[in-house]
Structures are given as C-alpha cells and as structure tokens.
Amino acid sequence: MSDERTPADISPLLAGLLAGDRRAIARTCTLLETMKPGALELIAALAPRLGRALVTGFTGPPGAGKSTLVNAYIRHLRTKNRRVAVIAVDPSSPVSGGAILGDRVRMTAAVEDDGVFVRALASRGALGGLSPAAVRIIDALDGAGFDDVLLETVGTGQSEIDVAQVADVRVVIAAPGLGDDIQAMKSGHLEIADVVVVNKGDLPGAEITRTQLSATLGMRAGGLSSVPILKTTATTGDGIDALAAAVARAAEPRLAAGPATRRRRRARYLIARAAAELVAERIRSESTVDLDRLADEVLLGKALPAEAAARFLDHG
Ligand SMILES: Nc1nc2c(ncn2[C@@H]2O[C@H](COP(=O)(O)OP(=O)(O)OP(=O)(O)O)[C@@H](O)[C@H]2O)c(=O)[nH]1
Ligand SMILES: [Mg+2]
C-alpha cells in the first residue's frame, strides 16, 4: 500500500475520493481512522473542500429502532436525490451493529446505489463513547461529496455527549415499552435533542410515551421547549416526511453559521477529548509527587480541588 506511505502518493487516493469511487472512499476512511502516514497530508488537501455535508446524529436506547429509522430516512433522502453516508457505531461489538445496518441497507435500497455508503465503526471503550476517528471519517465522507452523513449510536451517556458535540442536528429516538430506558431519557438524555422521535408508533403505548416525553421536555429550561416530538413507524415509513422536515428546520441555523464554524466545533471536541486523555495519562503516570503534595493541600483544607487541578495543569 505504497500510497499510504508518502505525501506524493496521496493524489490518486484523493482523486478517487473526489470522484466518489467507493474503494477510494473506504480506503480514505481507513486512512483517517488509523492516521497512518499520509493522513495529515490528505486532511490538508481536503480541508478547503469540506463542510458541505450535513451531519445528523441518531441516538436512543438499544432496540428503539434507530437502524430501521435511519434506513427509512435514507430512502427518503434518496428520493430527494441526496447522497447519503452512514456511520454506524456499535458500543459492544466492533462489527454487529454496523453490519446489521449494512445488511438492512443492502436488503432494501442500496446495494447498487452509489448514492449510499455505510461505514461501521467500533465505539471507544466500555462507556461506548464515540471514537475520535468518527470525526475524521465524517471529513472523508464530506470530501467524497455526500450531502448527508448520518451517525447512529446507542444512547449511552458518553456517546450521547459526543454526538451532541459532533453532529449538526441531533435526533433522539425513543419507543414504547422500553421501560427503564425511557426513564433514563427523561432524566437527562433529552437534553441534547434537536428533534425527539417516538418510534414504533404502531404499538400501543406510543402515545403515552410521547406524552411523558413531552411533559419532560416541557419542564426543562423554564418549560419553553420548542423541540418537536414526532411519532414515526420506521417499518412502514410513517412519519418520515415530518422527521425530514424537522431535521431540515433544525439544520437551518447550523448551516447558516457556515462550514468553518461547524467544522471548528468538531475540531474543538477532538482537542477537548485529547486534552482529557493527556490529563488522565499524566495523573496515571509515575511522577505523582506533585499530585501527592496537592492532594495533601486538599485534605488539609488549604486548596479546593479545582484550584489544585488548575495548578496541576499549570505545572504538569
Ligand atoms: N412495531 C415496530 N417495530 C419496529 C419499528 N421500528 C423498528 N422496529 C423493530 O424493532 C427492532 C429493533 O430495531 P432496530 O432498528 O434494530 O433498533 P436499533 O435501535 O437500531 O437497535 P440497536 O442498534 O441494537 O440499538 C427490530 O425488530 C425492528 O424491526 C416500528 O416502527 N414498529
Ligand atoms: Mg441499530
């Protein structure tokens, strides 16, 4: 794979990517995922062309119907002639979530459709946060000219926080009969939503779930929530048009802010994640003398933990 070794060899890959060649897209995703030599050159070459794609995140509890809904949404977008890429993030297994979505897409619309591209991505660690590679893969897919990049993640705490940072529009999906998961959503996961979907609208209980979520949203931030709560049936496509309209409305201000702003938000998130890791690494590392000294100050009431932390960062 000599073209992943030297800057000079980036151009064929770049040309293939810009032409929408599927193999080139897949190889670019891998290159930016692994950050092997050539990746930085590729990012530099792509940078002026990026920021066109709209990134929409879909999160929600396991089994809420995210993949089915994403699939129905893909079909909708294809009727509008939009080219769609999907990043499917699986918290538990590196393959199955994405593979399942891939199968669904293949089964329905997309096997010979150059306008649809699916990429599975392992999530990061036990907490299921988004891998920073997802952000770079967004850039690869953006560079390949996809109009929409859809991000499917299971709504664990960390991945929801991550999706909130990375996506332009956040869709949070609930469904009736998920019990504790709905409770969990009520206790905070709705915070990130631009659009809330109650999927499985064909099942009894959908309306109750919707009422519950509506009450919860109404209570947040002074009760003036303008977040729409839509009912969908992903298996039949019911409600998908309304979902698309709600996403488009939520996207308007984000798109108006311009590509640089949206991409900078993602880069800031990457830096914040890297910074958190650096700090954690420093705290784990051998040189704990300073930390012990600061710990004693905290224990003796001579410093607040936040003050100790600030000094630790200053002197690390
Ligand atoms: N009745 C009904 N079933 C649905 C609907 N949407 C999805 N399902 C079913 O719910 C099950 C889970 O759907 P998925 O799309 O795999 O759910 P998911 O949220 O992607 O699940 P994970 O990726 O495992 O977290 C499947 O059996 C779907 O066929 C719907 O609107 N109505
Ligand atoms: Mg899924």
DSSP letters, 24-74, are: HHHHHHHHHHHT-TTHHHHHHHHGGG-S-SEEEEEEESTTSSHHHHHHHHH
- The 10s digit of each residue's pLDDT in 27-75 is 999 999 888 999 999 999 999 989 899 999 998 888 889 989 999 999 9
pLDDT at residue 94 greater than cutoff 50: no
What is the Å distance from ligand 2's center to 188 Cα? 21
The better pLDDT of the pair 110, 282 is held by 282
Q: How far, in Å, CA of 101 to CA of 187, rounded?
A: 28
188: which DSSP letter? T
Record: fold of 50-257: Rossmann fold (3.40.50)
Q: How far, in Å, CA of 304 to CA of 19, rounded?
A: 56
Q: Can you give the pLDDT at residue 85? A: 95
Strand arrangement of the beta sheet that strand 84-90 belongs to? 116-122, 84-90, 148-154, 54-60, 169-174, 195-198, 229-231
Which ligand sits nearest to residue 235's alpha carbon? 1
Does the beta carbon of 153 lie inside 6 Å of ligand 1? no
The better pLDDT of the pair 267, 155 is held by 267
Task: Of 135-149, 166-180, 227-241, give the lowest mean pLDDT range.
Answer: 166-180
Region 278-298 average pLDDT: 82
In the chain, where does the domain assigned CATH 3.40.50.300 lie?
50-257
Residue of the CA atom closest to atom 9 of ligand 1: 65
Q: Can you give the pLDDT at residue 181? A: 65
What is the Å distance from ligand 2's center to 59 Cα? 9
Q: Can you give the pLDDT at residue 34? A: 86
Index of the ligand 1 atom closest to the CA of residue 238:
31
Does the beta carbon of 71 lie inside 6 Å of ligand 1? no
pLDDT at residue 154 greater than cutoff 90: no
pLDDT at residue 98 greater than cutoff 50: no
Q: Can you give the pLDDT at residue 27? A: 94
Percent of the chain with pLDDT over 70: 79
Does the beta carbon of 198 lie inside 6 Å of ligand 1? no
Which ligand sits nearest to residue 156's alpha carbon? 1
- The 10s digit of each residue's pLDDT in 169-191 is 999 999 998 766 666 665 556 77
Ligand 1 pocket mutation pick from 59, 67, 231 by most atoms within 8 angstroms of CB: 67
The better pLDDT of the pair 223, 208 is held by 208
What is the Å distance from ligand 2's center to 133 Cα? 19
Ligand 1 pocket mutation pick from 68, 75, 150, 240 by most atoms within 8 angstroms of CB: 68
Q: Can you give the pLDDT at residue 92? A: 47
What is the Å distance from ligand 1's center to 59 Cα? 13
User: What average pLDDT does the chain have?
Assistant: 83
Dihedrals phi, psi of 149, to nearest 5 degrees: -115, 120
Whole-prediction pTM: 0.86
Q: How far is CA 73 from CA 82, 161, 235, in A?
A: 11, 23, 11
